[in-house]
Amino acid sequence: MSTYNIFQIAIPEFKHIHDAKLQHDQAVELLKCIFKEIPKLSNQQLETIGLDKAIYDAIKHGMFEFIDEIIELYPEIIWRKDKKGRTLFANAIVLRQEKIFNHVFRLGEKQRITLLRHDIFRNNFLHLAAKLSPPSRLDHISGAALQMQRELQWFEELRRILPPKFEEELNENNRTPASLFSHEHKELMKEGEKWMKNNAASCMVVATLISAVMFTSAFTVPGGIDEKTGSPIFLRSNAFLVFVIANSLSLFSSSTSVLVFLGVLTSHYAEKDFLQSLPAKSILGLFTLFFSIVTMMVAFGSAIFITLQERLAWVSIPVIILSTVPIAFFTLLQFPLLIEMLVSTYCCRIFDIPQTKLK
């Protein structure tokens, strides 16, 4: 029995994976054969076979292997324009395909001149970045505010590498890139503001409740107060120390969360705020809210332990375990959003290679 047959028996999906891989390799080889013949064809023949449409569809669906192969075998393709006067890198911007656009940084200085071209509507590359992203790309991002942030990141990244004069150029509608961006993203910005305010208001209610409960529990300590000394009865208990520290941390963090989300609600909501200011405030607010919930549950668990340790100590164990349920729910519902905000704001760059401004 061959190794292939053994894997096929051991792994039921192995044959399907093997066939898919084989089809992929055969498709790549077929594309290489086709691309080698492209330089021999005239411009009219290229239009007849629908090369521009094939390239556009490949960019639209993020088929960077297709683009890499055609650039490698037919480098002149980077200069070719479609009916709208756009090169493949221009379409990569319009369709928000960063992996394909990143290929431009592997070109030489002379080839990068393609970034200085304009389409038939007198749009430069910064105008194209100012256009609204296709819905298929926006749908991969959670929330209108983060979608707006992604659009701003595209615009700002390209602004850094393109000549300064591009920012003042007018297209056929007499719009600068900045003016076009504001026009195209008017509705998305409204949706982003609504999404950010709703999220901030909901979290602010939770943080306010936690701070109120923690403030009250600071004066109603578990076990009560010694009437003679006025000190807490369990003052020397380690569990009481845990309660005091957890209660204090929960109060401070929830109060911070309330103030941060208040700042989000009262923000001016300018375009630039969606790039860093608003996401940073939301990240801080969500983190402090999560921390306040955790420390509140620690304070609750320690209070239960102090109260029941003399008689029903075993009851405190399942109660403390159950107190992790709210933490788990919050982690499942809000923590993914917090991580996505962190990644998109601080860890994500549109372009992988350091940019040098073109002249």
Please state, in angstroms and rounded to a whole number, the distance separating the CA atoms of residues 254 and 242.
Answer: 18
Query: Which is more confident, 330 or 251?
Result: 251
Distance CA 354, CA 224 (A): 62
Band the pLDDT of 285: cuts 50, 70, 90.
very high
pLDDT in tens, 131-161: 999 999 998 898 899 999 999 999 999 998 8
**What is the reported pLDDT for 177?**
96
Separation CA 124–CA 152 (nearest Å)? 17
**CATH topology for 14-185?**
1.25.40
| Mean of the per-residue pLDDT values of the chain | 83
pLDDT, tens digit, 9 for 90 and up, residues 253-268 = 999 999 999 999 999 9
* pLDDT category of residue 321 using cuts at 50, 70 and 90: confident
Ranking 45-54, 81-90, 129-138, 174-183 by mean pLDDT, the lowest is: 45-54
pTM: 0.82
| pLDDT tens for each residue of 54-103 | 889 989 988 888 888 888 878 888 888 989 999 999 999 999 999 888 88
Say how far apart CA 301 and CA 250 lie, in whole Å.
13
Q: What confidence tier does 166 reach under pLDDT thresholds 50, 70, 90? A: very high
Is 159 within 8 Å of 126 (Cβ atoms)? yes
Backbone φ and ψ of 350, nearest 5°:
-65, -45
Torsion over CA of 60, 65, 71 and 77, rounded to 10 degrees?
A: -20
- Window from 87-101, 276-290, 328-342 with minimum mean pLDDT: 328-342
pLDDT band for position 4 (50/70/90)? very low
Q: Which helix (H) or strand (E) holds 37?
A: helix 14-37
- 152 burial (CB, 10 Å; 0-12 / 13-18 / 19+) is buried
Instruction: Quickly state the pLDDT bin for 19 (edges 50, 70, 90).
Output: low
Burial 248-257 (b: 16+ CB within 10 A, else e): ebbbbbbbbb
Q: How far is CA 342 from the centre of its chain?
A: 8
On the question of pLDDT at 248 being above 50, the answer is: yes
Task: Write the CB contacts of 336 (distance below 8 Å, at least 6 apart in sequence).
Answer: 142
Cα–Cα distance for residue pair 321/7, rounded to 1 Å: 44
Work out the angle between the directed axes of helices 186-217 and 277-308 (0-180°, nearest 10): 20
Dihedral sign from CA coordinates of 29, 30, 33, 37: negative
For the chain, the domains span 14-185, 194-345
Q: What is the pLDDT of residue 292?
A: 93
